[in-house]
Every structure is written in structure tokens, then in C-alpha cells.
Structure 1
Amino acid sequence: MPSKKARDVSLDQLGAMRALVRIVELGSFSAAARELKVATSTIARKITALEAMLGVPLLHRSTHHVALTEAGTLYHARAVSMIADLDDTLRVVAELDSAPSGPLKLTAPVAFGRRYLAPLVAPFLELYPAVQLDLRLTDNHNDMVMGGFDLDIHEGENYLDNLIVQPISRNDSILCAAPGYFARRGRPCRPADLINHNCLRYLHPEGDRRWHLSDGKAVQSVMPLGNLQSDHSELLLEATRAGLGIAEFEIWLIRDLLVSGELEVALPDYRLENALTGRQIYMAYLPNRRFSTKVRVLREFMAERLKGIGELPERMQTPALGANV
């Protein structure tokens, strides 16, 4: 139960909570006051009243610095979460009877964004013209909180802590080459045959240099050897299309080229195991954005149009590939 002293204090608790969060984030009472467009003395009174209500100091104050006390650290962490939930609730209620509108921030990998998201921007904004879409393409995982992102489309499972995820597609990787390469050099029948082929290798600072090939029953590992390696998948793709050799690609990057016959699968009974790219392509978002109307319509729009992009079309799958799902 609050003390009598705490009950006697008249306080705008939400206003004081917001003030404390801004003081901590901006580093001073004066900076928070400027942002909130009130006098510094007003901010100071709010914090003093909050501390009086709680019966504990929340901030260590000095002439040029403020720091959280132990109690302040606990209160601040809870306050950040509560304010985010409240703001999201207010947004959801405001959106109930209106069309999706306002800023909407999305992030995705560079090649994926250019190939799949760029053609979808105009159709989405034609459906929801009141939305202001901010699309950031990067191959580094963004901090969704710090970056203010509403939705993140990415491959792999190594960044999904504390996020809600919605799978879009399996994320299968295969070896492929141009028909002209196979005409000159023949086709490998099993992973061990790759030693006789020009293998174009993708480099990643955290990646395994070997190719790990699975037929759904066992995994065979080979060291690819060839005359080209690069840390840029689209560069390797151009070399592969030109008939230089066999390379590893995620299906979403080359799906249209496989369908057209410009590229062909090298070992159709095998898929590559890759810890970096993972087994799925996901959409991810913060828990406090789950009820946002504009996030929901973006998720539904993307899910419908991107479904299955990381998988071979059924007519191209062999029984062995189908078993390797």
C-alpha cells in the first residue's frame, strides 16, 4: 500500500513518467524541457513529486549530469515499456475507424529488396495512399527499437529474440550453373564430383568455406575450388549466368532464372545447409506493434505476394527435393 505521504501527493503520473524517460534519454532536465516545450522548473517539479509519491529518489543530480539510482533504473525500464504499450494502444484505437495512414518503416536485405520489394512499393501505396513508406535496405540486421522499424523482412533465425515472427517461405539454397557450362563440363552426379568443376564461392566473414549438401538423409561436406570468389552474391550470379561455373544461391535470388531455364540445378537431389541464411524467410515485428492496422495491412500484402519465393516451383522439384523440406 502507498504511504499516506504518497497518497497526499497530487501528480500527473503519466506526464512525470514521460518526463523521466526523456531526461534519461537526453541526459539533462533542460534538454527534456526543450523537447517537451515546458520550463525546466516544471520538469523538475514533476520528478520531485514522482519521487515523493514513490518515497525513493530516482535520479542522482549534479550540475552537469543526471544518473539513475537503483530504484530509478527499475522504474525507468518499466516506464519505457508501459509508455510504448500505451502509445501503441492509442494508435490502434485511433486507427480503428480510419484507413491506414502515417509513417511506416520497413527494412530488408539489399538484393532481396531490389528484386522483390521494389516492384511492390507502388501497388501497396496505391492501395494505401495515406501511408508514408520508409524502406531501408541493408545486409546488416537493424535494431528495430533504435531504428524505429515497424517490420523487418529477413532470412534466418539468428536475430529473432523478443520479436514476433511470421514465416513467409522456406529459404532453400541450391547449386546451379548455366546450361552452357554443363554442356562444356558435364554435370556432377554427387557432391564428390564437384572436385572436377569450377566452383564459384561466396565469402562471408562469419561463414563456413565448405558447402554442406543434404539429400534429406545425410549431409556431405565439400571444399569448393575455383577461379572466382566474392562477398557479393549478385556479382557471382552474373558470372554464373555467363557460364563461368557452379555456384550456391538461395532460391529467392534465382527463382525466375530457374523457371526460364537460364540457370539449371546442379545436384537436384541435394540442398545446401547454411547456418547464416537459415531455413526460413520471416517477417518480424515488435510485440507492441501487433495490433497496428498499418503494420497488419503491410504484413498481409507482403505475405500474399511473397509466399513460397524461397522454394522451387512444384513442377521443378524431384521427389528427393520434396522430401528435403
Structure 2
Amino acid sequence: MPSKNAKEAGLDHLSAMRALVRIVELGSFSAAARELKVATSTIARKITALEAMLGVPLLHRSTHHVALTEAGSLYHARAVSMIADLDDTLRVVAELDAAPSGPLKLTAPVAFGRRYLAPLVAPFLELYPAVQLDLRLTDNHNDMVMGGFDLDIHEGENYLDNLIVQPISRNDSILCAAPSYLARRGRPRTPADLAQHNCLRYLHPEGDPRWHLTNGEGVKSILPSGNLQSDHSELLLETTRAGLGIAEFEIWLIRDLLVSGELEVVLPDYRLENALTGRQIYMAYLPNRRFSTKVRVLREFMAQRLTGIGELPDRSLLPCLADEL
């Protein structure tokens, strides 16, 4: 019987590890062989040798199905992490003396992306022309590993434990209305006054229909009522701008409209607590992207331009509040 060291010496462990990971992800030996551009028999020999070296079966095989054994599940989980770390190390070393280049995949919410990221794409790519940016806008959180994303901008609390998060800004929400509406219907002075106003409601299947207003001294909860409700924030924004009523928005969505005076803050001493949108806007990335040059320059570029976007501008910049100073 050959010794364990002799078995190890005859096995390219990294190649076999990569083969097993691809077999599991693609679902068959033949699919993995096609991707790796080797014969199926070569893949099979690698896995057989790996199992012989470890002394345990890693895969249950059948004609049309491949499944991990208990030992295989443990090995696969560690293998995925080790391969990712190794690939990241090789990438970082290769990038040390090189300008950022290659594919870079970013995801963000739809309205946020249209309003803030779209204007930043051209300036970023002018600075780093060798980068191929892939920007995906969606309101459904993506699995960063399965989706191959390098950076995720999202509002609300961190939703995956294995991500590194970098806060960009507070994510404050306020009530606002068009000057024409407030001139016609009057300005609420307390949360209770909202019962006399046309309140435009945002709907979400996981959301709380109530508005929870806080001024630091407690929370006032009301159930708004009015003649419009929608699950689309930008639709509500357009109707609010048209003078239909009072609505709740995150400040990043209406910041420019507040500064221009097209919208006015209602109950300026109050903020809204919203479990869906949370209290922060974050950039998130996987630990194995931590030292990637292209991810670093994208993070720095976005942080310089997006810091504080979810916070109410200084009152001196808001026409409706400047007179109160």
C-alpha cells in the first residue's frame, strides 16, 4: 500500500479541488469537464484520487445525478472559500503595479441607481477606461456570491453576515408636499393634524401601513388616509410634485427638490422610522474583494460623491425653512 504522502505527491490537490467545486455547481462530471476543457474521464480520475487521498467518499454518483456526501459537504464549503481566497490573492498581486482593469459588477436599487449612479458612470469610466462596468439595478437584494457582484449599494441594515459593509450616509425619511398643496390646504403643525390632510401612501407587502414619526422625545404613530396609494415611490413622487397631497420619502430621493423649493418639508422637526428602509445607506462587498484594486477605486469614487446624500440639507439651503433661522 502506498503511504498517504505518496498519494498526495501524485495528486494535484488544487486542480482536483477546483474540479469538485465545478462538478457540484454545474451538476455533473461532463458539464465540469466541458467547462474545464478536459475529458470526463480526467475529471473522474481527479475526484477518485482525491477521495482515495482523503480516505472518504465526497460524492454520491448516479447516472443522472451527483450529490455531496456529509464529508463532501464539509470539504466543498471549505474548498469554495479557499479557492476564492487564492484567486483573490493572485488577482491582488497581479494588480499591484497595474491600473484597475477588467470586469467590475455593481448592484443597487432601481430609483437610487437612476438618480445617483447613472450620472457617475461616465466620469468613473473616464478615470478608469480599462474597467468593464456591469451595473445591475434591482429592488430585490442579490446574492453577491451567486451573482458574481463586486459591490452592492443598499439601504437598510446589512442582510448577509458574510459581507463587509461601509456606511455612506444616514437614511432619513421625512414628510413633504408641494407648495401649491400647502397653500391650498394649510400646513400641519402636529402629527395629529395629518388626519385633516390627503396623505399619499406607499405600499409594500412587508411594510407597516402606519407612519411612525419621532422628534427625539417619543414616537407618534398614525394611519394615513388619502385618495392614492401605490407600490411605486417614483409615481408617488410625481403626484406629490403635482400638488395632490403629503407623502413620505427618503431624503436621497427628493434632496434636489427640497433645495429647489419644488417640495417643502412637512413637520420639519420629525423624522419617520421605517423598518424597510432602515437608518443607513451602505456599500457592501465580500471579504475576498477587500484588496481588489478595481473594487477599492470604485468604493472610494462612490464614497466621495455619495456621502451624506440621505441626510436633510442644512436649513439655510431650504427655502421653506430658511426664514425660520
Contact 1:174–1:251 (Cα < 8 Å) also in 2: yes
Gaps of 5+ in 2: none
Percent identity between the two aligned chains: 89
Trace 1:52-67 onto structure 2 (pairs within 5 A). Answer: 52-67=52-67
1:165 partner SS:
strand
| Residue 313 (str. 1) matches residue 290 (str. 2) | no
Contact 1:163–1:285 (Cα < 8 Å) also in 2: yes
What is the CA distance between 1:49 and its match in structure 2?
Answer: 1.2
Partner of 1:6: 4
What whole-Å deviation, never above 9, does each CA across 1:186-240 have from its counterpart, x for those lacking one? Answer: 1111100000011011111110000000001100001101111111111111111
Partner of 1:159: 159
Aligned residue pairs, count = 317
What is the CA distance between 1:47 and its match in structure 2?
Answer: 1.0
Q: Counterpart amino acid of 1:151? A: L
* The 10-residue stretch of structure 1 (207-216 or 18-27) with the greater mean CA deviation from structure 2: 18-27
Partner of 1:139: 139
Q: Counterpart amino acid of 1:41? A: S
Aligned-partner Cα distance in 2 for 1:27–1:11: 23
Partner of 2:219: 219
Partner of 1:26: 26
* The 10-residue stretch of structure 1 (167-176 or 64-73) with the greater mean CA deviation from structure 2: 64-73
What whole-Å deviation, never above 9, does each CA across 1:278-311 have from its counterpart, x for those lacking one? Answer: 0000000111111110000000000000011001
Q: 1:317 to 1:220 in 2, by over 3 A?
A: farther
What is the CA distance between 1:125 and its match in structure 2?
Answer: 0.1
Partner of 1:40: 40
User: Which TM-score applies when normalising by structure 2?
Assistant: 0.95
2:3 partner SS:
helix
Considering only aligned residues, what root-mean-square deviation do their CA atoms show, in Å?
A: 1.5
Contact 2:158–2:165 (Cα < 8 Å) also in 1: no
Aligned-partner Cα distance in 2 for 1:298–1:63: 46
Q: Counterpart amino acid of 2:133? A: L
User: Which TM-score applies when normalising by structure 1?
Assistant: 0.95
Misfit runs of 4+, over 6 Å: none
Trace 1:199-278 onto structure 2 (pairs within 5 A). Answer: 199-278=199-278
What is the CA distance between 1:255 and its match in structure 2?
Answer: 0.2
What is the CA distance between 1:62 and its match in structure 2?
Answer: 2.3
Q: Counterpart amino acid of 1:209? A: P
1:60 partner SS:
strand
Trace 1:82-121 onto structure 2 (pairs within 5 A). Answer: 82-121=82-121
Aligned-partner Cα distance in 1 for 2:158–2:204: 15
